Amino acid sequence: MDQDRLIHNYIVQTLKERLSREYKEIRDNVEAEEHEVNGVYPDLILGNHGLVLAACEVETDRSITPDEAEKWKSIIESGTKLFLMVPSSKTKDVTSLLWEKGIADKVSLGTYEIKIRMP
pLDDT at res. 97:
96
Whole-model pTM: value is 0.90
Q: What are phi and psi of 9, to 5 degrees?
A: -65, -35
3-state secondary structure at position 5: helix
pLDDT at res. 32:
87
Please state, as a whole number, how many other Cβ atoms lie within 10 Å of the Cβ of residue 54: 19
What does the pLDDT profile of the chain (119 residues) look like in tens digits? 599 999 999 999 999 999 999 999 999 998 888 998 888 999 999 999 999 999 999 999 999 999 999 999 999 999 999 999 999 999 999 999 999 999 999 999 999 999 999 99
pLDDT at res. 1:
53
pLDDT at res. 6:
93
Q: How far is CA 119 from CA 93, 113, 114, 115, in A?
A: 32, 19, 17, 13
